[in-house]
Amino acid sequence: MNHLDPQRHVRGESQYLDDVPVQQGTLYAAVYESPLAHGVLKGLDLGAARRAPGVVRILTAADVPGRNQIGGIVPDEPLLAEGHVHFQGQPVALVLARTERQAHAALKLIAADIAPLPIITDPREAAALGELIVPPRTHRIGDSGAAFAGCAHVFEGVAETGGQEHLYIETQGAYAFPTELGGVKIISSTQGPTAVQRHAAVVLGVGMHQVEVDVTRLGGGFGGKEDQATPWGCLAALGAFLTKKPVKLVLDRMADMRMTGKRHPYSSDFKIGLSKDLKIIAYEVTYFQNAGAAADLSPAVLERTLFHTTNAYFIPNVTATAHSCRTNLPPNTAFRGFGGPQGMFVIEAAITKAAEELGVLPSEIQRRNLLREGDRFPYRQPAEMCHAEQAWDTAAERFGLDKLRTEITEFNRKNQLFKKGLAVMPICFGISFTKTFMNQTRALVHIYTDGSVGISTGAVEMGQGVNTKIAQVAARTLGISISRIKIETTNTTRVANTSPSAASATADLNGKATELACRALRERLLRQASTEFAVDYEGLTIENEQVLAAGIPAETTWEKLVSSAFLRRVALTENAHYATPGVHFDAGTEQGHPFAYHVYGTALTTATVDCLRGTYTIDAVHIAHDFGQSFSPAIDRGQVEGGAVQGIGWMTLEEISYNEEGKLLSNSLNSYKVPDLYAVPAVLDVHFLDTPGHPKAILRSKAVGEPPLMYGIGAYFALRDAIRAFRPGAALPLVAPMTPERVLGGLYPEALAAHTEETAVAA
């Protein structure tokens, strides 16, 4: 089964937000952003902009009829700035004009009077000043303090990871229409239609039933539209509500990069203790998350960091404390992995540091400490149907870990100016929203009288192929061809109170709801047939659109079954509710069973560094991945390949840079590098592990969205390994991304230090 969409994409037939035919009278919106990262907003001069050609109206916080508040977890985020500004790029005013060009031209005529306040961009500095978004949280198992005393080896260090720009190909935007009873309909490029609906209702001061949100598909999300599609949806809705005209708001690329939050950078302290035989006995870690200027999803991201503190390892004594630190940057947000990758980088950094100090291979420590069946995570859930060792051993054998290592050693012995490196990256990722209540959804299935089927769920298609998977689930369950099935737009009036399409759980949740609805319909149709033909219900099935059983006429097709059921007034619509069973978590004790299951895998990464230039290639990534029983192997393979490359980008090329004023320097694709065709490893091997899947995964096919991103962490450590082949024994900082500059600094620390000094003197 191939993804249903790509042919339409390539022909230009797929409808994105910007392809929606424009209605007559549409006004175009543009956002006036705070030019300063922190200050008191004393005044706003809108006079000249109001008089500019085409400008119809300019909206500020004072125009909000309901509450000027879009904070989700913490109500700390105004839709439009009020009293203070907290980051550069914060929306302050909305210009509505007859054309997009006129709206943007008017922005230049607006002046804000802002009394500057001190700017914080560093999370540790924020923490020292008590600027925390929520109180710190600690996950604890065993007694790490006491355990260190009994350790043969103890190492400490600092690890840092940078942000990451989502770079969805379709930028943020929304198109809102006034509706007749004083409500709005919003076409939104969002992963969370209900989030847009809920916040728009608050902002407009109306009930949620007055706000309809509709999503056809997104040109990428990656977490960037889980929460941060909301401001643009609400702003367009506000414009439409107040002017009674359709309002369209689409961010251009640079505005999107400036105004939206990114993956959270983290700075962390770690301490790791090992026994003589390299068992990890104790681990302590303190995370400082750079949350930006408002909570957004940061507390949930922080929580997932804690859940992934020990990655795929069993550690009996752990103390992990996490701080969400308020800084004057755009609020950072969900990004594929959702804090998990940040936590996993630190344990890998700790293991690598320990290995380097002890003169052993990191893989010796890694392999010896992998999770086994029944081992408890620090949050007490046991590892069940655990494939950590199987994934590692399969990768090692199938892809020849020992041989790779020998080849690399041999290469490095023969070459002075090029060095190769290798890293093994095991992953373990928990599947479910960590907020238990979010693990629910619904599917609404209509069978039409001609036998065609329309399905609505809470799932948003963003390129990940969820619509294809849902159609497959329905086709299998009903016994019909996939060509009869249409997956409808995601719409809040058809399926209400949905969670965002996120947490890798979308196909599981919405697939299960679809399966339940289709089972109920199939049962109803077959009961009807059993009555009609006086045959035993138990013996009936539908296969290839044929109703099969002794005593059933051969011409009893799906279409006949449906039309005769309709004539006998059998309901052809079903609405099913699915809530993941067995998940729970107590944030008070920090214990429970938050995940339906875990996904495992192992990647072997090799890289070559040009030791004159600091440039490098990631040569090969060999992955053994736990898909369970994949029923869409083409889609699933694509998710693993794309995830791995996105992870490599985060760990190597992609460097978000703000200056001390909180101004984004990496503000375009000239200054922000993402993996392109040339950065993709020449070899990207994905092996499907032979695992049974999990009953809580849809048709036992495991969630595949986020876990593979963390294979990219291997690229960082492979590069580090290559640098240390050039400079044996080098003590390198554990700071990501490993850009060519950092590689050069690792190869020639004295030269780089001298150069930095010279530049400083020259400046």
Considering beta carbons, is residue 502 or 529 the nearer one to ligand LUZ? 502
Q: Report the DSSP pairing between strands 173-179 and 153-161.
A: unpaired
> Can you tell me which of 211, 351, 503, 513 binds ligand LUZ, judged by CB under 6 A?
503
Contact 235, 342 (CB under 8 A): no
The helices-and-strands tally (H runs, E runs) of the chain is 20, 29
Question: Closest residue to ligand LUZ, Cβ-based?
Answer: 338
Using DSSP's 3-state secondary structure scheme, residue 194 falls into helix
> Does residue 396 belong to the site contacting ligand LUZ (CB under 6 A)?
no
In the chain, what's the furthest Cα-to-Cα distance? 95
307 sits near ligand MOS (criterion: CB under 6 A): no
Distance of CA 411 to the CA centre of its chain: 38
Does residue number 238 form part of the binding site for ligand LUZ (CB under 6 A)? no
- Minimum distance of ligand LUZ from residue 257's CB (angstroms): 21
The region of 23-31, 269-277, 330-338, 466-474 touching ligand MOS under the rule CB under 6 A is 330-338
Is 598 a binding residue for ligand LUZ by CB under 6 A? The answer is no
186 binds ligand MOS (CB under 6 A): no
- By beta-carbon proximity to ligand MOS, the closer residue of 337 and 681 is 337
The count of other CB atoms within 10 Å of the CB of residue 216 is 18
Residue whose token pair is 């995370």: 287
Site string for ligand MOS, 689-708 (x = CB under 6 A): -----------------x--
Locate 311 and state its tokens. Answer: 């990655």
Q: Residue 190: exposed, middle, or buried by beta-carbon count in 10 A (0-12, 13-18, 19+)?
A: buried
Q: Does 348 bind ligand MOS (CB under 6 A)?
A: no
Kindly report the number of other CB atoms within 10 A of residue 11's CB atom.
8
Q: From the candidates 170, 706, 741, 758, which is the catalytic residue? A: 706
Site string for ligand MOS, 570-609 (x = CB under 6 A): ----------------------------------------
Q: How many CA atoms lie within 13 A of 380 on its CB side?
A: 12
The yes or no reply on residue 261 touching ligand MOS (CB under 6 A) is: no
Choice between 298 and 530, CB closer to ligand MOS: 298
Q: Is 543 a catalytic residue?
A: no
How many chain residues bind ligand MOS (CB under 6 A)?
10
Q: Which does 434 bind (CB under 5 to 8 A by kind): ligand LUZ, ligand MOS, none?
A: ligand LUZ
- The interaxial angle of helices 633-651 and 713-726, nearest 10 deg, is 50
- CB 607, CB 679: distance < 8 Å: no
338 counts as binding ligand LUZ under rule CB under 6 A: yes
503 binds ligand MOS (CB under 6 A): yes
The candidate with the shortest Cα–Cα distance to 504, out of 224, 704, 340, is 704
CB of 297 to ligand LUZ, least distance (A): 6
How many other β-carbons are positioned within 10 Å of the β-carbon of residue 70? 28
Please choose which of ligand MOS, ligand LUZ, none residue 100 contacts, taking the beta carbon within 5 to 8 angstroms, the exact cut-off set by kind. none
Please give the Cα distance from 229 to 328 (Å, whole number). Answer: 20
Q: Which does 323 bind (CB under 5 to 8 A by kind): ligand MOS, ligand LUZ, none?
A: none
Round to whole Å and give the CA distance between 735 and 738.
7
CA-to-CA distance for 398 and 687, rounded, in angstroms? 9
Let me know: does 86 contact 326? Beta carbons within 8 Å: no
Q: Is 435 or 673 the residue whose CB approaches ligand LUZ more closely?
A: 435
If one asks whether residue 304 binds ligand LUZ (CB under 6 A), the answer comes out as yes
Which is closer to ligand LUZ, CB of 264 or CB of 304? 304
* Contacts with ligand LUZ, residue ranges (CB under 6 A): 226, 297, 300, 304, 334, 338, 433-435, 502-503
Catalytic residues, by residue number, are: 706
